Amino acid sequence: AGMRSRPSPGSFSNVRPILETHCVHCHGRERLKNMPAFADTRELSRLIGPGNWIVPRHPEQSRFLLVATLADNQAGAMPPTGHAISKWEIEALRDWITAGASIPAGQPFPLAPRGPGPR
C-alpha cells in the first residue's frame, strides 16, 4: 500500500500542477504576444531543448527555472506579481529538468489554469 501515492522525482506529474497554478494564467490561451506559450503539452515541448527555455539535464542553463527563482523585486521574476513559487515547487521543477524534462507521449493535453490568477 502507498507505493503509488507519489510520482517519482523528475516526473512531469509533479510539474503540471505548478505550471497550472502559477504559469498558464499568463502563458496559456490568454497570453501576451511576447510570452512563450504553453497552453498544452505540445506547446510546452517546443520550449525544451539545447539553447531553449528549458535545457534537459541542465537546470542551470534553463531560463525557465532562472526566472522562477529570482526574488520578487528583480526584473524578469516570474510570476511577476510576487508570491514567488515555493522552495519545494522550485525543487520539483529542478528535478524535472535534471531528469530530462520529459513530457508524456500521446495527444497533447491542455494545461488549464488552477485557482485565482496571479494578477
pLDDT in tens, 74-115: 888 888 876 678 999 999 999 999 999 999 888 899 999 998
Q: Using one digit for the tens of pLDDT, what is the confidence trace for 26-56? A: 898 877 777 888 999 999 999 999 999 999 9
- The span from the CA of 18 to the CA of 114, in Å, is 9
Q: Using one digit for the tens of pLDDT, what is the confidence trace for 7-18? A: 788 999 999 999
pLDDT at residue 81 in the model: 73
User: Comparing C-alpha atoms, which of 96, 97, 70, 98 is closest to residue 84?
Assistant: 70
Which one-letter amino acid corresponds to residue 38? F
* Residue with cell string 507505493: 3
pLDDT at residue 8 in the model: 86
Helix axes 87-98, 12-22, angle to 10 degrees: 130
pLDDT at residue 84 in the model: 73
pLDDT at residue 103 in the model: 95
pLDDT at residue 1 in the model: 53
Q: CB–CB of 82/72 below 8 Å?
A: yes
Residue length, the chain? 119
pLDDT at residue 30 in the model: 75
pLDDT at residue 100 in the model: 97
